[in-house]
Amino acid sequence: MNLEIKAIAWDECFVSDDSKIEAAILFAWENTAPCECFPGLLESPALKDFKGKPNELALVYYQAPDKSGPERIILAGLGNPAEFSLPVLRMAAATAMRKVRELKLNRAGLVLDQMLCTLQKGGIDRFSEEVLAREGAISAAAALYAYNRFRTKNKERECRLTEYAIVYKKTPRRELAEKTATFVRAVTSGLQLTKDLCNGPANIITPAAMEEAAATVAARYGFKIQVLREREIREVGMGAYAAVFNGSAFGGRLVILEWTPEGTEHTAPLVFLGKGLTFDSGGISIKPAAGMHEMKSDMAGAAAVLGMCEALASLNCPNRVVGMLACAENMPDGAAMRPGDIVTSLSGQTIEIQNTDAEGRLVLCDSLTYAEQTYKPKAIIDIATLTGACRVALGSEIAGMFCTDEELQKFALTAGELNGDRAWPLPVWDEYFENMKSIVADMSNAGSREGGAINAALFLKQFISKDQTWMHLDIAGPAYNEKGNALREPGATGFGLRLMLDIAMGWK
């Protein structure tokens, strides 16, 4: 998506035909005239049937008295102010931008002053202007994404928009508009990378391709990059990690990106670790055929970490951050791990393989040990499409959160409520580890079906020191959805990027 995102004054939108905004996005409450509109707009016949209900649209072909202004105004309904939430704003903005896509326009703008004026007149004061501007603007941009890399025909979903403007009408809004545009550019770029990797087929998006994508980000923004390939992974003692890729022709890659702003060289970093199974057949414990094609998305955690790295570099993150992509492929050939095998992890603990489809925790456990030993981090946050049990428990919109630090958990839960990457805290009670014990090794990699997401988190906890701050995010539900909506196409959602970005940028 080749899209220019910028902040621009209203008067500058119509200097020439080349810069003219073809559609302006406005908002209105239910059964209420839109505030701060344009002369003559309220007389448009297109508004006669517009009620302002949630996601309702009115397309107005507009001609200002002085011949300036957009050719079209897209008015998006917000519903009843008493029922307002940030998801309502996100969906309204995305629905309006979907109309822009449908019209195959080249240039469109979201009028920041009008959106904020409307929200304020509706009594919405529990969110800051910065949050409202950010969520409205980024949601409109998100609606433009479509994955068309391999389409040679029927490309009607392709977006033609080349310019998306955050428009301010009054000079005092300029700084907010520019800050919003900077944020939208960074996050849109990161989300596009994340979704493209996650939507890509497993024969193209291999562990080596993940390494290549990370190298591109590193070169663009100045990250230090380190890559442990199959031989290095085995040599350092990551027996659990190596067991996962033994059956694959593509091998494995532990890709590490380091962001170290000047003056932070000696500070403990935040480490973000993503599960990067570029395809998960289940191995010898093979998955059912139905839906197996979606297992190309089992690297959604690693893709989100890489997308976050792109975004935080664009925003010039002031904190030291390490991004780790634990990439592999789980396939059933003659060299693949078997149920009953015992492997030795980097920590020295032994693991009985009871289910080869519980492979994500094997690449993560060794990577967690490596992260703690190498970086002595301030905190480790791992993110993974780890268990179907978490999707059963929390559905397809919410991640499971397991955290050993109350302050980090509180920060992340609050951030998720504001940015849409919502999570729900689940316990990591040590007594549940009884489910993971083995009679022939220190532990097994699979416990009982009951409490499956908790069992997986507790397995990972065995590889974290007692004094190490750690959070595990199970994104098996929200990372990849078959059903799309105005905000997203079916497929990869980019979930987790914004939550991690907020932690990287703001957690102290």
Active site residues: 287, 361
Closest alpha carbon to 109 in 143, 61, 74: 74
Instruction: For residue 77, give the DSSP letter.
Output: E
Decide: 315 and 497 in contact? Cβ < 8 Å.
no
Vertex 119, ends 118 and 122: CA angle to 5°? 90
Q: What is the rounded radius of gyration, in angstroms, for the C-alpha atoms of the chain? A: 24
Rounded Cα distance between 394 and 97, Å, is 29
Q: How far apart are CA 82 and CA 246, in angstroms?
A: 56
| Cα–Cα distance for residue pair 404/8, rounded to 1 Å | 45
- Residue 409 near residue 471 (C-beta atoms within 8 A): yes
C-alpha 474, offset from chain centre: 13
Closest by Cα among 198, 165, 323 to 259: 323
DSSP per-residue codes, 219-285: HHHT-EEEEE-HHHHHHTT-HHHHHHHTT-TT--EEEEEEE--TT-TTSPPEEEEEEEEEEE--TTS
- State the Cα–Cα distance between residues 99 and 94, nearest whole angstrom: 9
